[in-house]
Structure 1
């Protein structure tokens, strides 16, 4: 049976508290009053935002060149201690040192032509305070057995971030030394992050350029009006400019990873449009009923505005859990997204109400023919809500079976830090890496560094040589500053990203004398991966707990808050199950244009879990806040379920379409990390919107009835009184 409800010009239904014949006073809450103030004083709001955008926007163009390029480490780990000791006592011969591979098929390293190139490479590093000692290729250590390949090492005398910037500035000059049959390639961890960041930045920009017009097209179809469709994009752009400038300023206080802006661009575009879509859709409905722009803004902010605030808080809370991981790059990526979301949220709550109050009926400017017949209450989603109400079990079982089937592969998911395959084949660092492997062995690009007291030098060397998986150990090198340390370098028998590397590192650390420390680039990756694995259960627990508490505060109903949290977890598990099938097993790799590494990049579970859960809860708040508004007005769970879907279904579908379009544009990027990000987030949004928000969650509202909205008296007394109905 169809649910009849007031729409457009009809009189609103009476609330459960209202006596027949009595009109409720339209006072509204804090957000309603704030929205009315923004609409009344629009010029002041525009002025403040203009000043902020000019001030922050002046710094925004330098965002990618200013932000930090490294930070992929586990602070306090043994490998980081080794790097710090190497920089202090061994002339900077640490994992951050720049390795310059020089090779000639015709000449040997000792020949004059190659020596000339080595001298020119050494001159590139001269007088640059970021570099320490420059170590020429050494026989038996950094010269290949056939003598045709040598590695010059320029020590690191600055932070890892500064060393990446140094490579950014110098790698063109170094590769330009190639010629006359001699090849020159900068390699090492600093060079890897330089080429890695450059490739990902280029891919991000290309994907963003594609996603904007696609997004505008979806918005026009959803709103049926050019003005209504363009507003969310303009507001999102304002939020992005402000966040870019904010990140540059924040970088002056503490290093912020360049990946922070990459993620912020994508996430702010998707969420900013979500928020603006929800607000604009509700404003058009309120304006159609009242005809007064200021009153329409107040009603919009009192209803949809609350949902946006709670959604924004949920996103911020989810991402804040990532700050627990002791890895600078991971933490600052979360900070970047949180800053972007904060600016977008601020624009949605201040600038958008001001614009809406100013343009009023012009919101429908440039309307397409069908838009004049468009209502906030969607008849199609209302009909769908009635279908779900009539036949809940088949849809509940069907959606659960699909989600569980897609979640099962996650049990076999493997994670590891990115391999050399994440950079393009023509990147100098990859060419140098592969050249070193072909000339010196699979493990040569990822030598492990051992630092021990001088008194334990012989014991450490003998133990390292006897360790399974170690191909060669260099003689102990005394500290350059005269301190009581020696350094040995152990060459593994396997590629640095091979699964066996972890076992080799564990054996070395277990068997070496107690005061000997093992580090190097492969050890730093493994230590970071271990930290990510250790913190993942904690982060999941924190996110689930805080997400539940926010839903409980917002909805004042423990049962639906628990169910909303659990179903959000389902879409997250399913998305990672799909990620395992694609990126670990290689299904569809040919279509998507990549070679599978056999694992998912190590930071994926921690970071993507927070992002996916934040998005899932975003839609949960939109649907359940709308349903609660109708339950407050009618006291009927059927009205809440059907009309909640009728009034939010189109917005959720449009918002999901925008997010999927934005995320999937990254699926065709050449580098692997943006591809992983785009596909995992895109699949998550698609599954969440279609199977959970538009099927499973409404069905759960149907099956739980009044119990979904029940709350014990003691809980109501301690929770803040939040109502989603206006008046």
Structure 2
């Protein structure tokens, strides 16, 4: 056993018990978190006022989150394609990848006369009136007017940054489509319109998911807690964290652009982790009050020293895992990771400061409206204790069964392929997709992914010759001189394949090798390719950093290198299994009609790196809960049997309930909306399902059983290097 360094009497922390006649906390000697719990309970009114001011102050800005945040920023900073976009915006009237394309189509006559020409003129006037639009380029014969004269494209140059252009597309979409009539259809498209339509579809999906997830979550919590009042605490806690984080994101967006996905992920994580953390603390508090008949203040201190410490370490693991995503040099990824981290930080702070006050003030009233068959003060579950004993008796059989199941599910990962999202992620009736299809029909398969080549004016003829000879280019427009007189030219080239076709990457690589040295290749489709390249390069680094930091945190928390290593490696199994199933569903199309999506033939390229960090963070959340409980039992008894069975008995029910809530929350995202939220919901839901029920409740306890005392072995040199962390307090 590790000697305790925290058992000496503590100084009074709230003024309730003074003098030297009796120790603080009714004879209990708390650690730092226990003292924090005592302080916030003693200063309950101040704590509540501070949180009320924080939530109300930031909540004022929260309703603006959907309008303020944007979907842009999906780019590889420093890439050639981003440089092309910036040059095109600066020197070529905004003819950049973020420009809005307005497709005018007529089924009778032509767009150069009659109703078609009138629609073009009205669209041009509408675009010129918007200050975010730079130069408006009228349809050009042989370039942006189809051979049959029935389809034309009005180009609205980008006069603002990519985030603002998404908002411009959203604002202009309705008025532009309203110009349709008299046999003429007016439809905006392009990358900015794609993001505007995606944001709208995604928002609708999020609202639908919330409508399903909140009542399902409450029902699971009622069953888990056995009392309606106790079940409501995690939702209140989560709501406080969500409101605060939403308001904070709006304020941060005034300084640095924040992706709307930051709020989507933040909401999902705040709900899932807030419930996890509240479950752990409430169950422990009720056990201390009803099982040991302790005072509310002492019960809070004991809860904070045990469950609170596990929650703090779990939150730190989540934050560290997600911080590794910041290594990807893309604004969207960094803002998404930052948004989740902000929400987790708020939920963690509320769990460790606000929740103890609420528990102490409500005290036994948290058990109001209890289910008649539930023993609300029960901490050690007899059913999970029996399950732990069963695992102890037959560790090899259960361990091999769970390991085999995970490996079989992980096998398909060998054939996983990734690419950036195609137009199929949008609903078929969205403006961007309708316009995309019309451009393809009128101008060729590769027209929606037109390449842009910015080159020194002196090299323009050489660049045009390379484009004319390349088999991947269907045609190129004449070189356009820079509008501001600079020594640059812009050539637009139409590839022979759809923008999502893997062959486009070969064409771009070939052009970058063959074009003059002054030439740079860009365009919306190329920006996607450059981002995928950056993601492929960053993924091994992110995975390595996440694993290393996760192991180090477990090592510091548990002071046991073997079980810290095994716990880290076990998290890889559920991650691999989830991606194996994701390959079958999203790449091969298994169950696509049931889930209501059109398979792209690949998994979105951002999923591996981002989902890995998220899944690992959640997996380590459960790992900390289980192993912290095991460490507490081992510190008290020195018995591997008691450590394993006691951990399953005391934390199994919480892990089971928290896992059920997370699965319910994540799977609701698979019910509606565009493809990326479905991927997110199914991959994360499967990962939690496998991790909570196969890894944490079967495989990890079996590893504790098989390693015995060795699981908690600590070399002397490492003992001296690590800080003292204990979960058992007197």
TM-score range, shorter chain: over 0.9
CA separation in 1, counterparts of 2:223 and 2:563? 32
Could you say which residue in structure 2 is the equivalent of 1:113? 115
Could you say which residue in structure 1 is the equivalent of 2:562? 559
Could you say which residue in structure 2 is the equivalent of 1:261? 263
CA separation in 2, counterparts of 1:675 and 1:324? 25
CA separation in 2, counterparts of 1:46 and 1:578? 45
TM-score, with length taken from structure 2: 0.96
Could you say which residue in structure 2 is the equivalent of 1:207? 209
Aligned-pair RMSD on alpha carbons? 1.5
CA separation in 1, counterparts of 2:335 and 2:500? 25
Residue in structure 2 matching 1:597, options 597, 600, 604? 600
Could you say which residue in structure 2 is the equivalent of 1:400? 403
Equivalent positions of 1:161-180 (< 5 A) are 161-180=163-182
Residue in structure 1 matching 2:222, options 181, 197, 220? 220
Equivalent positions of 1:434-445 (< 5 A) are 434-445=437-448
Could you say which residue in structure 1 is the equivalent of 2:458? 455
Could you say which residue in structure 2 is the equivalent of 1:375? 378
Is 1:418 aligned with 2:397?
Answer: no
Is 1:647 aligned with 2:658?
Answer: no
Could you say which residue in structure 2 is the equivalent of 1:140? 142
SS class of match (1:586): coil
Q: What displacement does 1:131 show?
A: 1.2
CA separation in 2, counterparts of 1:190 and 1:99? 9
SS class of match (1:106): coil
CA separation in 2, counterparts of 1:212 and 1:372? 25
Could you say which residue in structure 2 is the equivalent of 1:51? 53
Is 1:124 aligned with 2:164?
Answer: no
Q: What displacement does 1:127 show?
A: 3.8
Distance 1:324 1:356, change over 3 A: same
Residue in structure 2 matching 1:720, options 708, 723, 730? 723
CA separation in 2, counterparts of 1:148 and 1:491? 20
Are the equivalent residues in 1 in contact too, given 2:310–2:624 (CA < 8 A)? yes
The C-alpha deviation readout for 1:138-189, integer Å capped at 9, x for no partner, is 1111111111100000100110001001111111011100111000011111
CA separation in 2, counterparts of 1:206 and 1:194? 19
CA separation in 1, counterparts of 2:356 and 2:249? 26
Are the equivalent residues in 2 in contact too, given 1:293–1:361 (CA < 8 A)? no
Q: What displacement does 1:726 show?
A: 2.1
Could you say which residue in structure 1 is the equivalent of 2:670? 667
The C-alpha deviation readout for 1:597-617, integer Å capped at 9, x for no partner, is 000111101110000000000
CA separation in 1, counterparts of 2:483 and 2:363? 73
CA separation in 2, counterparts of 1:386 and 1:398? 17
Equivalent positions of 1:231-380 (< 5 A) are 231-288=233-290, 289-372=292-375, 375-380=378-383
Q: Which moved more, 1:68-77 or 1:540-549?
A: 68-77
CA separation in 2, counterparts of 1:427 and 1:647? 51
SS class of match (1:134): strand
Gaps of 5+ in 2: 8-24
Q: What displacement does 1:40 show?
A: 2.0
The C-alpha deviation readout for 1:49-79, integer Å capped at 9, x for no partner, is 1111110000000001011220010001000
Are the equivalent residues in 1 in contact too, given 2:667–2:685 (CA < 8 A)? yes
Could you say which residue in structure 2 is the equivalent of 1:693? 696
Are the equivalent residues in 2 in contact too, given 1:446–1:520 (CA < 8 A)? yes
SS class of match (1:371): coil
Gaps of 5+ in 1: 1-13
CA separation in 1, counterparts of 2:405 and 2:505? 36
The C-alpha deviation readout for 1:98-148, integer Å capped at 9, x for no partner, is 100000011212113222111111111224321111000111111111111
Residue in structure 2 matching 1:93, options 79, 92, 95? 95
Could you say which residue in structure 1 is the equivalent of 2:545? 542
The C-alpha deviation readout for 1:632-682, integer Å capped at 9, x for no partner, is 000001100000100000000000000000000011113101100000000
CA separation in 1, counterparts of 2:82 and 2:133? 18
Are the equivalent residues in 1 in contact too, given 2:289–2:377 (CA < 8 A)? no
Q: What displacement does 1:223 show?
A: 0.8
CA separation in 2, counterparts of 1:462 and 1:525? 26
Are the equivalent residues in 1 in contact too, given 2:5–2:724 (CA < 8 A)? no
Q: Which moved more, 1:60-69 or 1:368-377?
A: 368-377
Are the equivalent residues in 2 in contact too, given 1:16–1:632 (CA < 8 A)? no
CA separation in 1, counterparts of 2:532 and 2:210? 29
Could you say which residue in structure 1 is the equivalent of 2:68? 66
Equivalent positions of 1:497-646 (< 5 A) are 497-646=500-649
Q: What displacement does 1:440 show?
A: 1.3
Are the equivalent residues in 1 in contact too, given 2:225–2:376 (CA < 8 A)? no
SS class of match (2:182): coil
Could you say which residue in structure 2 is the equivalent of 1:84? 86
Are the equivalent residues in 2 in contact too, given 1:415–1:599 (CA < 8 A)? yes
The C-alpha deviation readout for 1:523-568, integer Å capped at 9, x for no partner, is 0000000000100000000000000000000000000000000000
CA separation in 1, counterparts of 2:477 and 2:229? 68
Q: How many residues align?
A: 710
CA separation in 2, counterparts of 1:142 and 1:321? 44
Q: What displacement does 1:24 show?
A: 12
Q: What displacement does 1:373 show?
A: 6.4
Are the equivalent residues in 1 in contact too, given 2:229–2:367 (CA < 8 A)? yes
CA separation in 2, counterparts of 1:321 and 1:373? 40
Q: What displacement does 1:595 show?
A: 1.1
Q: What displacement does 1:292 show?
A: 1.0
Are the equivalent residues in 2 in contact too, given 1:382–1:646 (CA < 8 A)? yes
The C-alpha deviation readout for 1:221-275, integer Å capped at 9, x for no partner, is 0111011100011100110000000101111111111110011111110010000
Q: What displacement does 1:201 show?
A: 1.2
CA separation in 1, counterparts of 2:656 and 2:4? 29
Are the equivalent residues in 1 in contact too, given 2:587–2:602 (CA < 8 A)? yes
Are the equivalent residues in 1 in contact too, given 2:217–2:661 (CA < 8 A)? yes
Could you say which residue in structure 2 is the equivalent of 1:27? 29
Are the equivalent residues in 2 in contact too, given 1:460–1:513 (CA < 8 A)? yes
SS class of match (2:669): helix
SS class of match (2:98): coil
Are the equivalent residues in 1 in contact too, given 2:287–2:377 (CA < 8 A)? no
Could you say which residue in structure 2 is the equivalent of 1:677? 680
Q: What displacement does 1:17 show?
A: 12
TM-score, with length taken from structure 1: 0.96
Residue in structure 1 matching 2:487, options 484, 492, 502? 484
Q: What displacement does 1:338 show?
A: 0.4
Q: What displacement does 1:39 show?
A: 1.7
